Chains A and B, each alone.
Chain A
Amino acid sequence: KAGVTQTPRYLIKTRGQQVTLSCSPISGHRSVSWYQQTPGQGLQFLFEYFSETQRNKGNFPGRFSGRQFSNSRSEMNVSTLELGDSALYLCASSLFVAKNIQYFGAGTRLSVL
C-alpha cells in the first residue's frame, strides 16, 4: 500500500497570503489528522477529519481550516499568513480513530517571509 502523501513538500509564501496543503491518506484509512510542528511548541494538533466531518479541533485561530473529501483526501488552508505560521505541517491517517496507530506523511515545510 502506498503511504501517506503530502504535497507540496516545500512552500515559500509571504505574509498576508494564503496557502493550501494537501494530504492523501493510506487507502482505506478514514481518519486524517493535521499537526503543526515548530521548534518552540513541538507537535501541536490542528484538527481531525473522519468521513468528511471535523471530529476534533485543536486550539488554533480560525485562519486555519480544513476539509476532507469523499475519497478521504484532506486539505488544510491557512489564510492571512503570519511569520509565526512557518512550520512543518504533518498529516497522519489512521484506520478509524485518531487514537489508533497513526501513519504520518513526510510533511510540508512552510516558510513565511
Chain B
Amino acid sequence: SQQGEEDPQALSIQEGENATMNCSYKTSINNLQWYRQNSGRGLVHLILIRSNEREKHSGRLRVTLDTSKKSSSLLITASRAADTASYFCATARQGGSEKLVFGKGMKLTVNP
C-alpha cells in the first residue's frame, strides 16, 4: 500500500501565487523526499528532509516535516507556469526495507 498520501490531489493557481501541498504518512520514517514529474517523463528530485529536521529550504521551495503528526508540506513560492507538474512525496521507512515508497501524486497547474 502507498505510504504517502498527497493532499490536495489537484491544485490550480495563478502565476505568482504560492502553492502548498501536503503529504501524510503512516509509519516512522528515516527521510521524506519530494519529487516533480512533468507530463509522461521521469521524476526529478526536489528536496530531502531527514526525520530529525523540521524545515528545509531550496530556492523557492520550503519543506516542513512534523513527525508527531506524520505529515509534511511543500510550499512553492511565487509560482511560475513552468512549475506545472505532478508532485510526489516519498518516504523511506525507519528500520524497514530501504526502498522508497511514493504517494499517488498531486497535479499542480499554474496558469499564466
Task: From known contacts A42-B105, A43-B88, infer whether A99 and B44 are also in contact, taking CB-CB under 8 Å.
Answer: no
**B residues within 8 Å of A by Cβ?**
2, 30-31, 33, 35, 40-45, 48, 88, 92, 97-105
Contact with B along A1-41 (1 / 0, CB 8 A): 00010100000000000000000000000000101000000
Which A residue sits closest to B46, measured CB to CB? Answer: A101
Q: Which residues of A contact B98 (CB under 8 A)?
A: 48, 55-56, 97-99
Task: From known contacts A42-B2, A42-B105, A43-B88, infer whether A98 and B41 are also in contact, taking CB-CB under 8 Å.
Answer: no
List the 4 closest pairs (A to B, CB-CB), nearest first.
A99-B92, A104-B42, A42-B104, A43-B102
Task: From known contacts A99-B31, A101-B48, infer whether A42 and B103 are also in contact, taking CB-CB under 8 Å.
Answer: yes
In this complex, how many residues of chain A approach chain B with their Cβ under 8 Å: the count is 25
CA distance A76 to B88 in the complex (A): 24
Task: From known contacts A42-B2, A43-B105, infer whether A99 and B42 are also in contact, taking CB-CB under 8 Å.
Answer: no
Tell which of B2, B45, B99 touches A48, judged by Cβ atoms closer than 8 Å. B99
CA distance A96 to B17 in the complex (A): 38
Are A101 and B40 neighbours in the complex by a CB distance under 8 Å? no
The secondary structure that dominates the B interface is: strand
Q: Which residues of A contact B88 (CB under 8 A)?
A: 43
Q: Which residues of A contact B30 (CB under 8 A)?
A: 99
CA distance A97 to B92 in the complex (A): 11
Which B residue sits closest to A107, measured CB to CB? Answer: B42
**A residues within 8 Å of B by Cβ?**
4, 6, 33, 35, 42-43, 45, 48, 55-56, 58, 88, 90, 92, 97-99, 101-107, 109
CA distance A106 to B39 in the complex (A): 11
Which A residue sits closest to B102, measured CB to CB? Answer: A43
Are A4 and B42 neighbours in the complex by a CB distance under 8 Å? yes
Q: Which residues of B contact A48 (CB under 8 A)?
A: 98-99
CA distance A104 to B33 in the complex (A): 14
Task: From known contacts A43-B88, A88-B40, A109-B40, infer whether A102 and B45 are also in contact, taking CB-CB under 8 Å.
Answer: yes
